Structure 1
Amino acid sequence: MRFPPRITRAGAAAAVLSALLLGGTVTATPAAAAVGSVCYGDLPAQAHDTLGLIERGGPFPYAQDGVVFQNRERVLPGRPAGYYHEYTVITPGSPTRGARRIVTGDEDQEDYYTSDHYATFDLVDFGC
């Protein structure tokens, strides 16, 4: 299982503390406000399947699985090009790939779930 990083949250807390102590200002980015969290156990079963495939390295059901996610919507935290990759979460009954995805971050090994085709994301929490 992949575990979400704690450094991102610690880094944000350090920025707030530093700004308070040094008299600076803190501005929230849209990405930070748009990303929630979801317990692994609350994900649909198909998301569990996709996370298992990612962990094993495939095989994936769609040719697009594993491609670089561009983060054009800028909902996820800003990272260098090529950092994020997306994978399909199968939607039962859908004739297409549907709107559900897992987007992974390479360096920190975080996993994000979206059920609305990148409008919102939840960081998967494997600890609850």
Structure 2
Amino acid sequence: MRPPANILRSVTTALAVAAALLFGLTTTASAALYSASPAAPSTAASAHPAAATQARLATTTPAHLAYAVQAIPSCTLSSLPTEASDTLALIHSGGPFPYDQDGTVFQNREGILPSESSGYYHEYTVKTPGSPDRGARRLIGGGATTTPVHVYYTDDHYESFCEVDQEG
């Protein structure tokens, strides 16, 4: 009995990420090593083998694979909404925080942030003026709760992050 295709894709993705991280391969090279889909015939393949691989990967590699092996961009605190500075000041002072969820453990289920042990990351709401709820903006602190070693900002509810340069 053959496993369902979605399980094969998940295993394929995990193997590609592991290869990239362990062996320093590029996303394209690691995904090519473990691709579960056969290469589609292409005229580009005869011209340059990498072209065929890249063409196939464009349609067979899951989008989240790119996040798993890319560095998180940095951003300066001054480039973020002013409410982010307010939230960071609350983090450094230990609160009080405006929402009950602030300071709770962030699980990193998306796998975008560097892998750390459970309890390493904590999430904090960055207020969004005019929003009837918490909105999508968050700061994620990594390490000690009042003096995080790393601080990440998201304005799209964990779809993407930048690492905050707290001095800028």
TM-score (norm 2): 0.58
Which residue of 120, 123, 126 maps to 2:163?
Answer: 123
Cα distance change of structure 1 residues 50 and 74 upon mapping to structure 2, 3 Å threshold: same
Aligned mates of 2:69, 2:95 — CA distance in 1: 30
SS state of the match for residue 104, structure 1?
strand
Q: Higher Cα Rg: structure 1 or 2? A: 2
Cα distance change of structure 1 residues 104 and 32 upon mapping to structure 2, 3 Å threshold: farther
Task: List aligned pairs for 1:48-67, cutoff 5 A.
Answer: 48-67=85-104
The higher relative CO (CA closer than 8 Å, separation ≥ 6) is in 1
CA deviation after TM superposition for structure 1 residue 127, in Å: 3.7
Please identify which structure carries the higher helix content: 2
Q: RMSD of aligned C-alpha atoms? A: 1.9
SS state of the match for residue 91, structure 2?
helix
Which residue of 89, 111, 120 maps to 1:83?
Answer: 120
Identity of aligned residues (%): 53
SS state of the match for residue 70, structure 2?
helix
TM-score (norm 1): 0.75
Cα distance change of structure 1 residues 98 and 34 upon mapping to structure 2, 3 Å threshold: farther
Aligned mates of 2:128, 2:105 — CA distance in 1: 21
- Could you tell me which runs of 5 or more consecutive residues in structure 1 were left unpaired when the two chains were aligned: 1-23
CA deviation after TM superposition for structure 1 residue 27, in Å: 3.5
- Could you tell me which runs of 5 or more consecutive residues in structure 2 were left unpaired when the two chains were aligned: 1-21, 27-64
Q: What stretches of structure 1 move > 6 A for 4+ residues in a row?
A: none
Aligned length: 105
Task: List aligned pairs for 1:1-80, cutoff 5 A.
Answer: 25-27=23-25, 30-33=67-70, 35-80=72-117
Equivalent residue letter for 1:92: P
Please identify which structure carries the higher strand content: 1
1:21 corresponds to: none
